[in-house]
Amino acid sequence: MTLARTKPVTGAVVQARTCSTRLPGKVLLPLLDGLTVLQYLHGRLSRCANLDKVVIATTNKPCDDRLAGHAAAMGALVTRGDENDCLQRTLQAVREHGIDVVARVTSDCPLVLPGVLDAMLGYYLANRDRLDYLSNREFTDFPEGVDVEVFGSWMLEEAQAGTQSPRDREHINYFFLDRPQRYRIRYYNHATGRDFSRFKLSIDTEDDLRQGRRLFEVHGLRPDFGMADLFAALERMEAREGDPT
């Protein structure tokens, strides 16, 4: 008798902390309709049909007690770990919540596109026998700030055992990207035919946060926007405010 293949558990792991230097506490600042940056991001990730879980991976420092409470109150799963070891913290989240396929997202990217993430997860799950790591960070026409990486949790276990490099442990993906002979790496692109890579949508500064708010308040971006909506709003913003570069 042939046993049915068990569907792997998929989970978004969102790295978040409030002790950042450029804009401290940015994930707890309001972005839209009273929702914080983290709330809005969590809401968008929760719309992904191919995601089973959303985990906020924050630090165990007292300054992140409020963040952890905020995340739990909005229904997110929470993991707390070492501030300076993102690799260990991400692996801890994966282990605690039984995740097999990881979608890595950073908390300064609240405008992530659920449709894109769903498509990437669907592609990854259908082709796991042919690829290990899938990303839209490179070779893409997308704006910076809708970045997603998808990979197997087993790769985190290998990275944990295989490196003590501060660079690898802070950025995680470098361990995979530096080993193309070991890991089958693919890049995902929707091939829209238009280049939006000149736009920066991640939130690192007050100016970035103000731009994010203006996209909704001034340039007509709908709260539940999709990819086409975002591109149209960016074009309106550029026409009114000038070249973002």
* For the chain, domain boundaries: 10-195
Q: Mean pLDDT in the chain?
A: 93
Is 10-195 a CATH 3.10.110.10 domain? no
- Cα separation, 205 vs 88, in Å, equals 27
pLDDT in tens, 192-202: 788 999 999 99
- Confidence band, pLDDT 50/70/90 cuts, at residue 1: very low
pLDDT for res 145:
94
Residue 61 near residue 83 (C-beta atoms within 8 A): yes
pLDDT for res 5:
53
- Cα separation, 92 vs 188, in Å, equals 27
Would you say how long the chain is, in residues?
A: 245
pLDDT in tens, 81-113: 999 999 999 999 999 999 999 999 999 999 999
pLDDT in tens, 47-86: 999 999 999 999 999 999 999 999 999 999 999 999 999 9
Residue 41 near residue 74 (C-beta atoms within 8 A): no
